Structure 1
Amino acid sequence: MPMVEEKDDFKRLMLAALPALRAFAVSLAGQPDKADDLVQDTIMKAWGKRDSFIMGTNIKAWLFTILRNEFYSQMRKRGREVQDTEGYHTQRLAVHPAQYGSLDLQDFRHALSQLPDDQREAIILIGASGFSYEEAAEICGCAIGTIKSRVSRARVRLQELLNVTGNYDYGPDNMSAQVTMRSF
């Protein structure tokens, strides 16, 4: 009988995680219908691998890992193909220079490396890994308020290191924005 109860517990926990899974899928896929397909694929894989899940551990993190891996697997399979037999999309194609993004990422990584370990860990768990403050506090073995404080201090320090003062400090400069935003 314990196997039936464990299966029911797994099912209940998995169903409780669906809203968060869908939100994460929408943020990755960008489209609700593709996100729903991604969540469905994730649930199917998780159900098939339920024997490898250890009850009492973080099912949300386990499911998010499956979803993320599934998303990137699908992206690799699909590649960057677009149906454009008439060349309509190709004629309208304009992108920002890639080197700016690479340089910005390089600057960000350098600034991130200058943060104290506890602040870097907190901001990565919250900002990049998608954990809640409660989950991050549990992972770090500290109070929720401590995590919130570390994230806040890390954000302020990153703004200082990157010389960010407002929304206009993000994205392309004014000249390249005008070029890529023009309509044909």
Structure 2
Amino acid sequence: MKTVDPTLRDDIIAAIPNLRAFAISLSGSVDRADDLVQETLLRAFANIGSFRPGTNLSAWLFTILRNLFRSEYRKRRREVPDSDGAFAATLTTHPDQNTHLDFEDFRAALDRLPADQREALVLVGASGFSYEEAADICQCAVGTIKSRVNRARRRLGEMLSIDTAEDFGPDRPTRAILTATDRP
């Protein structure tokens, strides 16, 4: 560390009350002002080599303080108080491309099902028909529709590597759907 001229050091120390008053006027807080003055002094001593003797020391110190305040102001303006992380948790989203890719995988797997299983699954699972209504549409027994839907669901799960509800992902819409379908 470079040795500071004692006269320059004394002049810097003499400027502290004025720096503090300026910092209070900027920040509106005595504690924040003291932090600004301390950081200003640290930067001034760290960069003392850039000060040109014969120029206005107070102006140089006040410029450092003002720049520090503005930098912190810009930084804080973008920050949101969130000590418990609740706000940050609401900002997270899953990437859209995963949903699109998952849907494409589902469509491809659905297309690979036998036609009778795909038809039964679409009628009951996607179109919302009861087993009885789907049996009437397909002109077969209710037990046959139930069997086809069960085999289609099991086969889709195998093709998509889905063993449990946890494999669907942690996003809220998916969890809401799974919770709704788990109810009796």
Smaller-chain TM-score range? 0.3 to 0.5
How high is the TM-score relative to the length of structure 2? 0.43
Higher relative contact order (CA 8 A, sep 6+): 1
